[in-house]
């Protein structure tokens, strides 16, 4: 039996999710490091169909500290690869430094572990972005991500800015400009 990390994910009704996070300070505490690893483990287990069914988990690819009630600019992503292993990302104080002009959207719609309902509509995202961030040791890093990973990074950075994906869907026309973007 797999042990699911005890992580309390805030629901979209919680006002904390609409507040801007502050930069994390270095050194990153042991508690914050442990939380990052627990969040990644939770995400990886949520993407395992058997475990997700047994524990009634919704699959998630990323989690921001804001979603667990900590307003610091840190998020994690667990991206499952074709061989079922994971690429793990721990991103501290991210900044988007460039983005493609090409826009994309997730065809089946974006989801969020803080939004426990079906949401109609599309979220315009950049197809490729370059992000600068810091690792645990405070070393500056740069990463270029594309497609699904670019969507995940933009989604999590939005959380750090107090924005939910539902805020990015046009309320009057949920599929606005879909014909001007590429579906992924």
Residues annotated as catalytic are 156
Alpha helices in 23-146 (DSSP H): 30-46, 49-55
* Angle at alpha carbon of residue 148, lines to 47 and 32, rounded to 5°: 60
Contact 47, 57 (CB under 8 A): no
Q: In terms of DSSP bridges, do strands 182-183 and 103-105 run parallel, antiparallel, or are they unpaired?
A: parallel
- Starting at the edge strand found earlier in the chain, the sheet holding 125-126 runs 125-126, 103-105, 182-183
Alpha helices in 47-130 (DSSP H): 49-55
Neighbours of 118 (CB within 10 A): 7
Helix (H, G, I), strand (E, B) or coil at 184: coil
H or E element that contains 148: helix 147-160
């Amino acid at each position: 039996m797999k042990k699911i990390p005890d992580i309390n994910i805030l629901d979209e009704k919680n006002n904390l999710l609409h507040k801007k996070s502050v930069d994390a300070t270095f050194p990153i505490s042991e508690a914050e490091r442990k939380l990052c690893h627990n969040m990644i483990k939770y995400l990886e287990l949520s993407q395992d169909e058997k475990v997700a069914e047994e524990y009634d988990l919704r699959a998630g690819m990323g989690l921001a500290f804001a979603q667990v009630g900590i307003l610091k600019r840190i998020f994690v992503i667990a991206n499952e690869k074709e061989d079922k292993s994971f690429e793990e990302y721990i991103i501290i104080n991210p900044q988007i430094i460039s983005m493609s002009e090409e826009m994309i959207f997730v065809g089946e719609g974006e989801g969020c572990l803080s939004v426990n309902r079906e949401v109609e509509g599309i979220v315009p995202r950049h197809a490729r972005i370059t992000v600068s961030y810091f690792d645990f040791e405070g070393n500056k890093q740069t990463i270029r991500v594309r497609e699904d990973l670019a969507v995940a990074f933009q989604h999590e950075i939005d959380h750090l800015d107090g924005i939910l994906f539902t805020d990015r869907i046009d309320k009057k026309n949920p599929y606005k400009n879909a014909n001007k973007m590429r579906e992924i």
